[in-house]
């Protein structure tokens, strides 16, 4: 009788051990599977992110090539045609005894168009942007905007200007350039404030306008322009955020590391 009880207890003990080992084995298999699955998902996410990064980089390179072509065309062709037209107007004015007032106005309009096109060409030229530090490049862009609408944009600087990696500088310039152009096209703003804060390890930029603003949850207003700003900042190791409220303007915040 005693032997039978011992055998039952031994069987129960062995069953418990086997059950525990089986349970541990199942848990180990489950954890291994989940780990591999998470690793697989993470690898897919990283591949997608790398693909998006490479795609964006290619888009930016194509954009710069296009900008340079347009800049060169303006300089070489359109500029020369306007220069020739101005010379012809001068010859016509000299030949007339009493040149009409409209002739003088036409000459002034041609000169204004030449200056505006020259400024646009400078803002598109990658080579020219690379000649300046980020503050100088953005100051030229602000000056260009203020020619079209006086005192529209102000620029404020805090801290000593720091050197930024040349590729980063170009992308930062394009981000701000696009943001300013978006304000001109869509915000109906009368004032834009561009603030540059040169911190120890990164450049903080704020673009604040007093325009009509928009609802950030409205899909109609979260278009490609705003997405491009966020993606481009991410491409160079920075980040961007956008704050806006209807009738209270919009603020774009950028934080870009120097290196």
Between CA 165 and CA 167 the distance in angstroms is 6
Running DSSP on this structure, what letter comes out for residue 246?
T
pLDDT of residue 148: 77
CATH code for the domain in which residue 181 is found: 3.30.565.10
Domain identity same for 1 and 125: yes
Between CA 154 and CA 239 the distance in angstroms is 23
Domain identity same for 3 and 112: yes
pTM over 0.85: no
Domain identity same for 254 and 164: yes
How many structural domains does the chain have?
Answer: 2
Domain identity same for 125 and 146: no
Does an H or E element contain 46, and which? helix 2-73
Q: Which structure tokens are listed for 7?
A: 């055998």
Domain, as residue range, for 217:
134-259
Rounded to the nearest 10 degrees, the angle between the axes of helix 79-95 and helix 101-124 is 160
| Cβ neighbours, 10 Å, residue 60 | 18
| Cβ neighbours, 10 Å, residue 197 | 14
Domain identity same for 234 and 186: yes
pLDDT of residue 250: 92
Q: What share of the chain is helix, strand, coil (3-state, %, to 5)?
A: 70, 15, 20
Is the backbone of residue 223 left (phi > 0), alpha (psi -120 to 50) or beta? Answer: beta
Note down pLDDT in tens along the chain; length 259 residues. 555 555 666 666 666 777 777 777 788 787 777 777 777 677 666 666 565 666 666 666 677 777 777 777 776 777 777 777 778 888 888 888 787 888 788 888 888 777 777 777 777 778 888 888 999 999 988 988 888 776 789 999 999 999 888 888 988 999 999 899 888 888 889 999 999 999 999 999 999 999 898 887 765 555 556 778 888 888 888 999 989 888 889 999 999 998 8
């Amino acid at each position: 009788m005693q032997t039978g009880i011992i055998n039952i207890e031994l069987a129960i003990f062995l069953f418990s051990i086997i059950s525990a080992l089986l349970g541990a084995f199942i848990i180990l298999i489950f954890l291994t599977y989940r780990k591999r699955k998470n690793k697989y998902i993470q690898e897919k996410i990283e591949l997608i992110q790398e693909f998006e990064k490479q795609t964006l980089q290619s888009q930016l390179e194509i954009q710069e090539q296009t900008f340079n072509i347009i800049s060169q065309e303006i300089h070489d062709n359109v500029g020369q045609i306007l220069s020739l037209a101005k010379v012809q107007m001068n010859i016509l004015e000299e030949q007339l005894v009493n040149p009409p007032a409209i002739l003088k106005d036409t000459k002034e309009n041609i000169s204004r168009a030449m200056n505006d096109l020259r400024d646009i060409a400078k803002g598109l030229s990658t080579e020219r942007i690379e000649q300046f530090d980020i503050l100088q490049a953005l100051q030229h862009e602000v000056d260009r905007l203020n020619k079209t609408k006086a005192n529209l944009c102000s620029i404020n600087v805090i801290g000593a200007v720091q050197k930024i990696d040349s590729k980063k500088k170009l992308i930062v310039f394009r981000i701000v350039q696009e943001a300013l152009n978006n304000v001109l096209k869509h915000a109906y703003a009368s004032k834009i404030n561009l603030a540059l804060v040169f911190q120890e390890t990164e450049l903080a930029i704020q673009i604040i306008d007093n325009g009509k603003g928009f609802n950030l949850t409205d899909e109609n207003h979260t278009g490609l322009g705003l997405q491009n700003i966020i993606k481009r900042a991410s491409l160079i190791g920075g980040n961007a955020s956008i704050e806006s409220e209807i009738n209270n303007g919009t603020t774009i915040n950028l934080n870009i590391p120097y290196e």
